[in-house]
Amino acid sequence: MRILILGGDGYLGWPTAMYFSARGHEVHTVDNYLRRRVHQEAGTDSLTPIAENLPARAQAWRHVTGYHIGVTEGDITDWALVESLFRETQPDAIIHYGEMPSAPYSQMSRDHAVFTQYNNVVGTLNVLFAMRDLSPDAHLVKLGTMGEYGTPNIDIEEGFINIRHGGREDRLPFPKMPGSLYHCSKVHDSTNIHFACRVWDLRATDLNQGVVYGIETEETNIDPRFATRFDYDEVFGTALNRFCLQAVIGHPLTTYGKGGQTRGYLNILDTLQCVELAALNPPESGDYRVFNQFTQQFAVNELAEVVQRAGAEYGFDVKVEHIENPRIEKEEHYYNAKHSALLDLGLKPHYLSETLVESMFSVIERYKDRVRTSAILPRTKWRPERRVSEPAV
C-alpha cells in the first residue's frame, strides 16, 4: 500500500512510519515540526535524544534497513502543499496524526486555543478536500481521542449509539463532552469527517485513542537513531510516562486531585497494531467508522500504584503526591468504554505489567541526566484565577 503519514515526526508518527516501511509498504511522511518548535520555545525537550529532523531519520532508516521513507517538511494547513502531496503520492491510506496534540497547550491562552482549533480543523479540512478531489478511494485513518466522549454516566460505545426514544429508534453519533479546547478540536474534526463520508462518499476510520505509554517498538530498538521522542513535560507528557520518569528521578508521582479520573490506556506497540489493522481493513466508500483504541482502563491512582509496585521491585522508593488539579474534570466518576472492534479485527493487546514499567525505568535511567525537573509540574490551569468582573477602562 501507498501510505501517507501526516505528523510523521511525532511520538507515534515516526514509529508508525518505520513499522509500515518494514512491512513492505510505500511510506511518505509529512511534518511541520510543530512539537519540536513548541519544545524549543519552552526550553524543554524529549527525554530520549532523537535524530535532528525527518530527513535524518529517513536517511538513517534507509542506511540500516535499505527501506525508503519519503519526507515532506511542511504544514498541512497549507493547501498548496496538501494538493501537491496528494498528486505526487496518490495514497491508498492516509494516517493522520498531523495535529496539535496537547490539552494543556490549548488551554494556555486565547492565542493557543485559536491556534489549536485553526491548525487541527483546517489541516483536516484540507485532507478531506484533497481526498474528495484527488484520492476519492483512499482511506483516512484519523487519530481521534477517547477524550472526545468525556466521562458520561453511561457506557461509551464506539462512535455511535442506538437510541430508543419516544417509541422510535436511530443509530446516532455518540454524544460528546470534550474536556479541553484541544479535545473540542478533535470533536470538530470528527463532525467534519463524518460529514465528508456522508456527502462525498469518502471512507474513514476515526481511532478514538486512549493514553499511549511506552518508549520501545520493534523498530526503535534496532538503532539509537530510530528512537522516538518521549515527553514528560506538563504540555506533552502523559500520565504513565510521567510517573515512570518521576519514579526514576526520585520525584513523588504527581496525581492531579483525587486521582479517581479513569481513562483508557494502551501500549505504543498496540497503537501500531491498531493503525495497521485499520489500514488493512478499510471501510466501504461512504462509511465513517469509529474504533475506541485502548486496551485497559485505569484510574490515575491505579497507575500510580502499578508504578509504585514496579519501583519497589526495581529498588526505587516511590511516593505519591496528590497535587491541586489544574484541570476542570470529574475526579470520581463512572467510566466504562467499549473497545471490541479492534479486538475483533485481531488486535493482540500488550497489557500493562510491572515488567513493562521496569523496562521503561531502564530506558529512562539511561537518559536521566537530560531531565529538566522544572518542566514537569503543571502550570496551565483550565480556569484562570484572575476573573475581572468590572474591567478597568
29 catalytic residue (yes or no):
no
Q: Judged by CB, which is closer to a second copy: 101, or 214? A: 101
Q: Which one of 149, 182, 288, 335 is the catalytic residue?
A: 182
CB of 294 to a second copy, least distance (A): 19
Q: Which one of 145, 205, 254, 262 is the catalytic residue?
A: 145
Cβ of 276: how many Cβ atoms within 10 Å?
21
Question: Cell for 43?
Answer: 526550553
Q: Give, in degrees to the nearest 5, the angle at Cα 374 between 372 and 379.
A: 135
Q: Judged by CB, which is closer to a second copy: 83, or 305? A: 83
Question: Cell for 235?
Answer: 504540555
The phi, psi pair for 325, rounded to 5°, reads -75, 120
Q: Judged by CB, which is closer to a second copy: 175, or 250? A: 175
| 305: nearest Cα among 243, 366, 235, 351 | 243
HSE (CB half, 13 Å, CA atoms) of 80?
Answer: 0
Give the C-alpha separation, 252 to 93, whole Å.
43
CB of 287 to a second copy, least distance (A): 15
145 catalytic residue (yes or no):
yes
What is the SS3 assignment for 236?
A: coil
Q: Judged by CB, which is closer to a second copy: 9, or 26? A: 26
Q: Judged by CB, which is closer to a second copy: 14, or 174? A: 174
186 catalytic residue (yes or no):
yes
Residues that bind a second copy (CB under 8 A): 79, 86-88, 90, 110, 113-114, 117-118, 121-122, 125-126, 129, 132-137, 152-155, 161, 163-166, 168-170, 172-178, 180-181, 184, 187-188, 191-192, 194-195, 198-201, 328, 334, 382-384, 387-391, 393
Distinct helix (H) and strand (E) counts, the chain: 12, 14
CB of 330 to a second copy, least distance (A): 11
Which residues, other chains included, contact 31 with Cβ-Cβ below 8 Å and sequence gap of 6+? Answer: 6, 7, 8, 9, 10, 13, 54, 73, 98
| Sequence letter at residue 342 | L
CB of 203 to a second copy, least distance (A): 14
Q: Judged by CB, which is closer to a second copy: 62, or 171? A: 171
CB of 14 to a second copy, least distance (A): 28
CB of 179 to a second copy, least distance (A): 8
Cβ of 278: how many Cβ atoms within 10 Å?
26
Distances (CA, A) of 322 to 66, 81, 328, 361, 378: 49, 46, 15, 22, 12
CB 383 within 8 A of CB 333: no
Q: Judged by CB, which is closer to a second copy: 120, or 228? A: 120
Q: Which one of 186, 213, 254, 271 is the catalytic residue?
A: 186
CB of 26 to a second copy, least distance (A): 16
CB 46 within 8 A of CB 229: yes
The C-alpha cell 483508557 sits at 264
Positions marked active-site: 145, 182, 186
